[in-house]
Structure 1
Amino acid sequence: MVPSKSLKTAARRLRDGCMGLFGKPAPTRRPPEAGEVPSVDFLCNVCGKENHRVLLHHVQNREFQSCVHCRSSLRMRAVVHALSVELFGRPLVLPEFPADKTITGLGMSDWEGYATPLAERLAYQNTFYHAHPRLDITDIRDEDCARQRFLISSDVFEHIPVFLLDQAFRNSRRLLNSDGVFIFTVPYVKEGETVEHFPNLHQFDIREIDGKRVLHNVTRDGQHETFENLVFHGGDGMTLEMRMFSESDLLRNLKDAGYRSTRIYTDRVEEYGILWPMDWAVPIAARA
């Protein structure tokens, strides 16, 4: 499948973090004067501290670290918001989460800015693919199943090889107990179908040739493929972007994995600086 020009443009802008693609900008607390750059005040729901006169386009950028205190981004604040609503039925700042060690949860390479306070208040453990405590979502143990009240995976599944992707979605559901919830983000677009960058991936490695990283793949039928212009995201381990999801395919993936319901968190929470300028690439909560 060759993605449309509009889909490729949206995907590029999403990767670049330039999120003001749809809709009008969020209103400021007061109309800006002539020549003044719009800014907002907000209470960060991750650290619980006030922010004043933060540039609006920074607050609306999915990846920009717009809290001047803990450096949370829009995505991180939205993840905490979704988790709060799913666990406690209302939006809370993280420092006000009830201290309850009966609430079990796992993170998949979560940002330490919310992972550390979550571990202090809940029976939560952050995990990693290449470090201890380790979790390979494509290969979990039976004894680890049905033990978690929540699982957080923020911008991880776009890096999973295509031949392991369905198993990863199924295992996310297997980790959760009967009332569990999966808080999930990936870069995705609203329209079209998921675009796999390497649809025939089988036996592959990443090599450096003439100072550039390339992917070499041997397909199941023995064909050799080489891909250039790879897109890597920040972080340790396997951070190669394998695909650009679409919303409809994501919802199908979650349903096929056994989730009974999903909620797309387009919530606009001005108080907490959650001002999405679009209705895609936002957190999704999937209920077991």
Structure 2
Amino acid sequence: MEKLVTRLTIVTLLLAGVALFAAPLCSPPEEVCDNGIDDDDDGLIDCNDVEDCLDVIAEVCDDGIDNDCDGDADCADSDCLDAIVETCDDGIDNDCDGKTDCEDPDCLNVIVEDCSDDIDNDCDGKTDCEDENCFGSGPSKVVINEFIYNPFGLETSNEWVELCNLGDLCEDLSGARIKDASNLDPTVFPAQTIFRPRACKILSNNTPGSTVCNVLTNLQWRVPVTLNNAEGDTITLMDADGNTISEVSYTGDAAEEGFSLERCLDSNGDPVYVQTSASVYGCENSGTPGALNLCSVQE
């Protein structure tokens, strides 16, 4: 009986040993490297576990984190050179070449020049109307936008004609001409008569840079001009070749004394000149010289 028990015990132990060796061995979990946990139980977490985490995760290059655990984050990591395209307008060295925005030659002509924001958008070293890219080749968008022909006070100094560029590009009117019906010899604009987009200039008998009745003069008639009050008049703006750019004719009763006529568009989209109802801008005269017209529709 004792021998039988002994034999059974031996068999049981042998079977237990076989089961033990047949059981699969447990592998420790791998280090995840970006979760703040010591996954592999080696006492080291994420990038502190250099042996397991070096170059496991690709460097992101713009998150301030050493993703690949090589000790360098973002642009300090050589892996980031040209990994991201330079944005060119955010003040950040996106492509990690040590240069930001327009300092980076990659940014030349990447962004179209805005022409009216005083920023060198296309990174060619020129802003707005200094940039030849801001000048178009199509028909001029400069128009006779507003004028006052019968102001209160001295007419030779208080009359003015407002010219506005209604386009989104700069306009060079150097050598352009303007006249009224009585001018046999038109006034020729000087060199560098540049109109910024959506900007206006005032033409009057006064010296450029002077202000009369709160109106700043930018351009001066060649000889003193007095627009006809009684019979009306025609004002014609021409390019340097004599082609008409903008023209307006009015009758003597088109506006009350002290009120300007401003350019609006009628229901057909055609320009018409109507008396402004603006508040007084100076010397009891009403209008919007140098500012947007009151009519809501413009080209």
Q: TM-score of the superposition, structure 2-length normalised?
A: 0.24
Greater Rg, structure 1 or structure 2?
2
**Of Structure 1 and Structure 2, which has the larger fraction of its residues in helix?**
1
